[in-house]
């Protein structure tokens, strides 16, 4: 039976606690699930502590954020079965500090703009991970009736990449640096949703250089033409092919229930075999 290998919880910017996701996965008929929170060691530990929940097998995972300096774009890398060791721990701590610093700036600006904005509530919303995201800030305005959704027009006005009124983005390490972190953690690395950050050229480069193990193809935001090209790329370089819903619960601009996008059994087996090989098992 298949799995959903891309989902998010309150360990980062998802709306639901991680313990709820295996329940959803089981009712979607899934056998496998990866809770892959952004730059989070917590999602890795969640699966390591209890690898089977609700009859669903959990694959330890995190989604690391990087920057492609050649094109000036963010990059997301899904890392499966990484070691819970210093390399990953230090990177996650670094990104947590950077995110909190910039989101505190945005929080202060929102308190000046909205008399009813409650910064303490935003911090409370992020209490599971201790890391603030833009999602937590806009969620407060959503709950207080300023917008009719999390990622609607107000979000674009406040946090849009072009002229967002309170936008403060953290610094991201280069894709080469983050790939080195993943290698030190002995992770199986999959380039996430190449359509989202227009990363098709990068996918080709990383595949040719042998720096990624797979590509995420079945994803709600991957364009059909990119999916076709990614299948061709995967065949050329014998890459693992994954699918995942990128589930965030209500912290999304379009509904995508967990299990909407899936990874087949044969590809999951490839991930697990490669992970075991890298760990010398």
- CATH of residue 271: 3.20.20.140
Tokens of 109: 């600006």
Q: Which residues pair with 53 in a beta bridge?
A: 56
Q: Per-residue pLDDT averaged across 203-226, rounded?
A: 98
On whether both 53 and 107 belong to a single domain, the answer is no
Confidence of residue 239 (pLDDT cuts 50, 70, 90): very high
What does the alpha-carbon distance between residue 81 and residue 44 come to, in Å, rounded to a whole number? Answer: 8
In a domain, 20, yes or no: yes
Task: Please report the pLDDT score of residue 3 as a whole number.
Answer: 98
Task: Please report the pLDDT score of residue 43 as a whole number.
Answer: 98
On whether both 137 and 42 belong to a single domain, the answer is no
Cα–Cα nearest to 64, from 192, 151, 213, 154: 192
- The 32-35 sheet, strands edge to edge: 3-7, 32-35, 56-58, 52-53
Helix or strand holding residue 106 (H, E): helix 86-113
On whether both 152 and 213 belong to a single domain, the answer is no
Say whether pLDDT at 2 is over 90: yes
On whether both 67 and 186 belong to a single domain, the answer is yes
Domain of residue 20 covers 3-91+171-278
**Residue range 72-95, pLDDT digits in tens:** 999 999 999 999 999 999 999 999
Tell whether pTM > 0.95: yes
In a domain, 71, yes or no: yes
**106 and 140 in contact (C-beta within 8 Å)?**
no
On whether both 138 and 264 belong to a single domain, the answer is no
- Percentage of the chain surpassing pLDDT 90? 98
In a domain, 74, yes or no: yes
On whether both 144 and 79 belong to a single domain, the answer is no
Mean pLDDT of the chain: 97
On whether both 219 and 260 belong to a single domain, the answer is yes
On whether both 87 and 111 belong to a single domain, the answer is no
Confidence of residue 124 (pLDDT cuts 50, 70, 90): very high
Cα distances (angstroms) measured from residue 90 to each of 41, 72, 230: 10, 24, 32
**129 and 94 in contact (C-beta within 8 Å)?**
no
- Give the number of residues written for the chain: 281
On whether both 128 and 222 belong to a single domain, the answer is no
Confidence of residue 281 (pLDDT cuts 50, 70, 90): confident
Task: Please report the pLDDT score of residue 89 as a whole number.
Answer: 98
Q: Per-residue pLDDT averaged across 5-17, rounded?
A: 98
Q: Is 179 helix (H, G, I), strand (E, B) or coil?
A: helix
Tokens of 58: 């959990």
Q: Per-residue pLDDT averaged across 155-175, rounded?
A: 96
In a domain, 96, yes or no: no
On whether both 273 and 212 belong to a single domain, the answer is yes
On whether both 252 and 182 belong to a single domain, the answer is yes
In a domain, 165, yes or no: no
Task: Please report the pLDDT score of residue 108 as a whole number.
Answer: 98
In a domain, 262, yes or no: yes
**37 and 14 in contact (C-beta within 8 Å)?**
yes
What does the alpha-carbon distance between residue 63 and residue 75 come to, in Å, rounded to a whole number? Answer: 10
CB-facing half-sphere around the CA of 195: CA atoms within 13 A: 15
Q: Per-residue pLDDT averaged across 235-254, rounded?
A: 97
What does the alpha-carbon distance between residue 281 and residue 271 come to, in Å, rounded to a whole number? Answer: 14
In a domain, 150, yes or no: yes
In a domain, 52, yes or no: yes
Confidence of residue 45 (pLDDT cuts 50, 70, 90): very high
Number of domains in the chain: 2
Say whether pLDDT at 162 is over 90: no
Task: Please report the pLDDT score of residue 54 as a whole number.
Answer: 97
On whether both 130 and 265 belong to a single domain, the answer is no
């Amino acid at each position: 039976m298949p799995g959903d290998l891309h989902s998010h919880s309150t360990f980062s910017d998802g709306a639901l606690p991680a313990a709820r996701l295996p329940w959803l996965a089981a009712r979607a008929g899934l056998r496998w699930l990866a809770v892959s929170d952004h730059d989070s060691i917590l999602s890795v530990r969640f699966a390591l502590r209890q690898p089977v929940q609700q009859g669903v097998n959990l694959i330890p995972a995190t989604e690391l954020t990087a920057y492609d300096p050649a094109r000036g774009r963010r990059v997301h890398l899904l890392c499966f079965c990484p070691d819970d060791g210093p390399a990953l721990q230090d990177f996650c701590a670094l990104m947590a500090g950077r995110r909190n610093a910039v989101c505190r700036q945005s929080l202060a600006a929102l308190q000046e703009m909205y008399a009813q904005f409650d910064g303490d509530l935003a911090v409370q919303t992020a209490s599971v991970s201790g890391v603030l995201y833009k999602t937590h800030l806009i969620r407060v305005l959503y709950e207080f009736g300023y917008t009719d959704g999390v990622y609607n027009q107000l979000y674009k006005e406040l946090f849009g990449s072009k002229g967002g009124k309170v936008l403060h983005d953290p610094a991201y390490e280069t894709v080469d640096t983050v790939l080195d972190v993943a290698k030190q953690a002995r992770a199986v690395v999959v380039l996430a949703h190449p359509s989202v950050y227009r990363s098709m050229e990068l996918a080709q480069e990383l595949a040719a250089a042998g720096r990624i193990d797979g590509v995420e193809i079945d994803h709600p935001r991957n364009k059909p033409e990119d999916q076709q090209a990614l299948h061709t790329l995967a065949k050329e370089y014998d890459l693992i092919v994954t699918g995942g819903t990128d589930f965030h619960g209500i912290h999304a601009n379009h509904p995508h229930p967990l299990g909407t996008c899936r990874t087949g059994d044969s590809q999951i087996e490839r991930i697990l075999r490669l992970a075991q090989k890298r760990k010398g098992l």
